[in-house]
Amino acid sequence: MQAKDIHAVIRTVKREIARWPEPVVGVVARQSGRDPFLVLISCLLSLRTKDKTTAEASERLFALASTAVTMQELTTSAIEQAIYPVGFYRTKAKQIQQICTQLLERYEGLVPDRIDELLTLPGVGRKTANLVVTVGYEKPGICVDIHVHRISNRWGYVKTKNPDETEQALRNKLPREYWITFNDLLVPFGQNLCQPVSPFCSRCKIARYCDRVGVLRSR
């Protein structure tokens, strides 16, 4: 993919994903008025978990508590029961309690808006930190999950080995106007069309721009 093609590609992807469900963290952000705490917790729950399961778990948990203060008052068992069956639910329940404790001790219960500070919280990696900054605070950042990493490389837009490298490459190359929304676009695009194995290239409206790096077979 040529660097200049990214504008046309983004426009097309925006049109394509309109027919698919919005990623769960985006739904939580929209429904909560972009509450950074709820974005943070829902993102933590979403790791290695399907969107439907994450959405249902988030709804159950937030019905019990929706702030660091009220969440900390829940027992580990109560959190586990609320978020089951998300992936690693026992570990995540403990992390949620630890996060709430640190938010109250260090930030008066507020979620920090800086990536370096977010990374000091239990269970928070760069993907989660960037999502909180971009979705929760609408500040510049690029959230790179497996879909963003895989598709950016498949397009030939970047050539990187892991999501961290992809984030840095995109920060150097992707126009800043697309930083915040890039993840929201590529997640449903990757889940529904540009799938990991045998993507639907014959249906893809951006096929002429795509280098199809690593694609061995397609539909």
Residues found in the chain: 219
Instruction: Indicate the helix (H) or strand (E) that contains 50.
Output: none
Residue 127 is among the residues annotated as catalytic for this protein = yes
Q: Active-site residue 145, yes or no?
A: yes
Active-site residue, from 145, 164, 184, 211? 145
Which of left, alpha, beta for 138 (phi over 0: left; psi -120 to 50: alpha)?
A: left
Asked if omega into 85 is within 30° of 0 (cis), the reply is yes
**What is 2-30 written as a DSSP string?**
-GGGHHHHHHHHHHHHTTSPPPHHHHHHH
**Cα separation of 121 and 102, whole Å?**
7
Out of 14, 35, 92, 127, the active site residue is 127
What are the catalytic residues?
Answer: 127, 145
